[in-house]
A = this chain, B = another copy of it.
Amino acid sequence: MPPLSGPEVAKHDNKESCWVVIHGKVYDVTEFLPEHPGGMKIILKYAGKDATAEFEPIHPPDTLDKYLDKSKHLGPVDMNTVATVEEVEDPDETARQQRIKDKPLLSQCYNLMDFESVAKNVMKKTAWGYYSSAADDEITMRENHEAFHRIWFRPKILVDVKTVDFSTTMLGTKVNMPFYVTATALGKLGHPEGEVVLTRAAHKHNVVQMIPTLASCSFDEIVDARQGDQVQWLQLYVNADRAITERIVRHAEARGCKGLFITVDAPQLGRREKDMRSKFVGQGSNVQSGQDTDTSQGAARAISSFIDPSLSWADIPWFRSITKMPIVLKGVQRVEDVVKAVECGIQGVVLSNHGGRQLDFAPSAVEVLAETMPVLRSMGLENKIEVFVDGGVRRATDILKALCLGAKGVGIGRPFLYAMSAYGFDGVDRSMQLLRDELEMGMRLIGCTSIDQLNPSLIDTRNLGSHITGVPVDNLGHKVYDALATPAWKPPKTSKL
Contact = CB atoms under 8 A, between A and B. Distances in A.
Interface of A: 99, 101-111, 113-114, 116-118, 120-121, 128, 132, 136-139, 142-143, 145-147, 149-162, 264-265, 267-268, 270-271, 273-274, 276-277, 280-281, 284, 286-288, 290, 292-295, 308-316, 329, 331-334, 336-337, 358-363, 394-395, 397, 401, 437-438, 440-442, 444-446, 460, 462-463, 465-472, 474-477, 479-492, 495, 497
Given A157-B333, A395-B137, A467-B463, A152 B482 contact: no
| The 3 nearest A-B residue pairs measured at CB | A117-B486, A104-B487, A142-B472
6 contacts: A110-B276, A137-B474, A150-B469, A158-B329, A160-B312, A161-B268
A476 B113 contact: yes
Given A475-B137, A484-B273, A333 B154 contact: yes
Contact of A155 (B274, B290, B359): B359
A78 B291 CA distance: 43
Nearest to A129: B482
Give this chain's copy count. 4
Looking at A157, A395, A440, the one whose CB has the most chain B CB atoms below 10 A away is A157
A156 to B, nearest CB: 7
A275 B78 CA distance: 58
Nearest to A276: B110
A139 to B, nearest CB: 5
B150 A117 contact: no
Given A293-B105, A445-B358, A149 B484 contact: no
A91 to B, nearest CB: 9
Contacts of A273: 110-111, 484
Looking at A281, A310, A331, A489, the one whose CB has the most chain B CB atoms below 10 A away is A489
A474 to B, nearest CB: 6
Given A158-B311, A468-B471, A111 B149 contact: no
A401 B107 CA distance: 44
Contacts of A395: 136-137, 360
A268 B159 CA distance: 12
A476 B146 CA distance: 12
Given A121-B497, A149-B469, A157-B333, A128 B361 contact: no
A160 B309 contact: yes
B117 A487 contact: yes
A366 to B, nearest CB: 12
A277 B110 contact: yes
Nearest to A396: B136
Contacts of A466: 462-463, 466, 468
Given A274-B484, A463-B468, A158 B281 contact: no
Contacts of A145: 474, 477
A261 to B, nearest CB: 13
A161 B444 contact: no
A357 to B, nearest CB: 11
A293 B109 CA distance: 12
Nearest to A142: B472
Contact of A284 (B108, B161, B445, B492): B492
A370 to B, nearest CB: 12
Looking at A158, A264, A477, the one whose CB has the most chain B CB atoms below 10 A away is A158
